[in-house]
Structure 1
Amino acid sequence: MNKIFFTLVFLFSGLIINAQDLKKYDRGSFIKGQDSIYYRILFPENFDPNQKYPIVFVLHGRGESGSDNEKQLTHGAKLFLKDEVRKNFPAIIVFPQCPLESYWANVNITTNDKGKRHFSFTEGGKPTKAMHALKNMVKNFLKKPFVDKKQVYVGGLSMGGMGTYELLRRKRKTFAAAFAICGGDNTNNIKKYQTVPLWIFHGGKDDIVDPAFSMAIAERLKTVGSEVKFTLYPDANHNSWDSAFAEPALLPWLFGHKRD
């Protein structure tokens, strides 16, 4: 009985510690005209507003959409809280949250009678309401004197991976490098972000977003792009972000790129 009690105490303590750590991400919002978007932001330790820092925008998946300004920290946020990451890669980390009624990417989603979703990605087209707000939020951040415009990065998972491709093509001269996890795009859009170094991840057994989307983008970029890395986890399902965020080379690769 005592063993069970102490195990429960240990687990509960771990949950409290994790929740407290995530509170290091300050709450913020960008509201201008018709644009409205909430975000959480982590500043480097010993932040000095007179210095310039890299900035990373991380886009969550559909399951973390909403207006609580909290759920978007579910995947990936703890990576940037690690002591060694904060020490070796002092950067500003931003997790915006997509409203439930919108979507990061301009994609048509249909579901068959077996519950299987089909994604049809738009070539060109107008941005969604969430993407329009995100675009202008990024623009606003780049006006801050403490943001290094040569080191601006974006990455995302699932819907956020789709949003990553879309943001890259809508702000093609902004990002030094990007990563996309289990996302997708219309391959005709690739020419608009082919010069951005990109690391693509996907699970080989993904039954939500077909890995063929990532494969097609990677293969196309290998012929026309400047730099692309593709990692397929053969036994991973849709949650390939667990493996991607655990990649020891991800952050050194990302921060190793700078715009001219």
Structure 2
Amino acid sequence: MTKTLLLALFISTILLTSCSTTKTQFGETVIENTADTSLSKQAILKIRSLNNDIFDSATFVGKEQIEIKYRLFKPNQLKTKEKYPLVVIYHSSGRPVGTDNKSQLGILQKLFASPDIQNKYPAYVLAPQFPTRSSDYVMDTSRNVLYSTPRSCLNSVLSLIDTLKLNLNIDTKRIYVIGFSMGGSTVINSLSARPELFAAGISISGIPQFDKIQDLATTPIWLIHGIDDTENPINSDEQFYREMSKNIRYWKLKATTHDNVFTTQILGETLPKWLFKQRKK
């Protein structure tokens, strides 16, 4: 048996094992970090090796007069009479913020645009680049945790999504949002600002927003956070999960810091398989 085949079988075993311990869509689960770091790095390198040119490049200016550079991946062999999901993916502050319109294309953006995922989950993938931070963090003295507040550039991106809805064959019942770090925080900001727009969201290592929790009661949300994260401490997500009444999935990754959250346990089909099950009623 070749080394390549052995590697593929091992990664598949890890993914199946992690999924078998989390059969329910919602609820809290502590995940053992059993993934081999070298395998995770190889999987990440494969995804990141995808050419940026698979994404179209464009610019949008909304009523806030903030210029948003963005990349858009369109499903291969689009059928004119068929509607497709839209996956909006927010970058971290370290990708970084800016206007080069390429730095935002990280592991999540390319994962959802990769041939393996698109073959099973064809979708538009929107990767906006924020010219400044999209979310700021403030201490909530009553809860004793950090919370996030959105900046005005998020409103521009939400306007961009509305414009794309009018011009592309997007299934408006299947618009999703996902992000990491600052982008994970902006996921919760987006859901809080426009709960009617999104079918579901995945926040990875983010800081949540607490003042619109009642508006999120029917929105499926998946929180993923490393227990040993010192950059964006997990206690904010802990509090958010406690205050949310339902429709929330919470993965706590053992022995996982902010920078090593992307192991084989959440690569592959793990994220899209859950996300694409969700649909607006």
Same fold? TM cut 0.5: yes
Distance 1:209 1:45, change over 3 A: same
Residue number in structure 1 paired with 2:175: 152
Q: CA deviation at 1:234?
A: 1.0
Q: CA deviation at 1:166?
A: 0.5
SS of alignment partner, residue 90 of structure 1: coil
8 Å Cα contact 1:60/1:75 also seen in 2 = no
What letter is aligned with 1:228?
I
Report how many aligned residue pairs link the two structures: 230
Verify: 1:66 aligned to 2:98, yes or no.
yes
1:259 aligns with 2:280: yes
- Secondary structure at the aligned position of 2:202 is classed as strand
Pairing 1:1-260 to 2, within 5 Å after superposition? 21-33=51-63, 34-64=65-95, 65-99=97-131, 102-108=132-138, 119-122=146-149, 127-221=150-244, 224-225=245-246, 227-243=247-263, 245-246=266-267, 248-260=269-281
% same residue? 25
Q: Which amino acid aligns with 2:67?
A: S
More contact order relative to length (CA 8 Å, sep ≥ 6): 2
Do the aligned residues in 1 keep the contact of 2:47 with 2:111 (CA within 8 Å)? no
Q: Report deviation, 1:80.
A: 2.1
Q: Which runs of 5+ in 1 are unaligned?
A: 1-14, 110-117
TM-score normalised per structure 1 = 0.80
Cα pair 1:103 1:131 within 8 Å, conserved: no
Deviation at 1:16, TM superposition (A): 11
Structure 1 contact 104–128 (Cα < 8 Å) conserved: yes
Partner amino acid, structure 1, of 2:250: F
C-alpha deviation, 1:145, in angstroms = 4.4
Deviates more, 1:70-79 or 1:199-208: 70-79
Following superposition, the deviation at residue 120 of structure 1 comes to 4.6
**Would the aligned equivalents of 1:79 and 1:245 in 2 still touch at CA under 8 Å?**
no
Tell me how far apart the structure 1 counterparts of residues 74 and 156 of structure 2 sit (CA, whole Å): 22
Report the more deviating stretch, 192-201 or 15-24.
15-24
Checking the alignment, whether the CA contact within 8 Å between 1:157 and 1:182 is kept in structure 2 is: yes
Amino acid at match of 1:58: I
What's the CA shift for 1:25?
A: 1.0
Q: Distance in 2 between matches of 1:55 and 1:16?
A: 23
Q: Secondary structure at the match of 2:184?
A: helix
SS in 2 for 1:40: strand
Check 1:79–1:20 CA distance in 2 against 1; reply closer, same or farther (3 A cut).
closer
Q: Which deviations, in whole Å up to 9, do the C-alpha atoms of 1:46-65 show, x marking residues without a partner? A: 12344211000000100121
| Residue deviations 1:19-44 (CA, integer Å, cap 9, x gap) | 55222011112123413211111111
Task: Please list the CA deviations of residues 140-193 of structure 1 after superposition, one character each: whole Å capped at 9, or x if unmatched.
Answer: 122234010011000111101110001101111011111000111243332222
TM-score, normalising length: structure 2: 0.75
Q: How many angstroms apart in 2 are the aligned matches of 1:81 and 1:216?
A: 33
Secondary structure of residue in 1 paired with 2:166: coil
- 1:8 corresponds to which residue? none
Q: Secondary structure at the match of 1:72?
A: coil
Structure 1 residues 156 and 240: alpha-carbon distance in aligned structure 2, compared to 1, 3 A threshold = farther
Task: Report the secondary structure of 2:228's partner residue.
Answer: coil
Amino acid at match of 2:60: F
Q: Structure 2: which 5+ runs fail to align?
A: 1-44, 140-144
Pairwise CA RMSD? 2.4
Q: Do 2:48 and 2:107's aligned partners in 1 also have CA atoms closer than 8 Å?
A: no
Could you say what secondary structure the match of 1:37 adopts?
strand
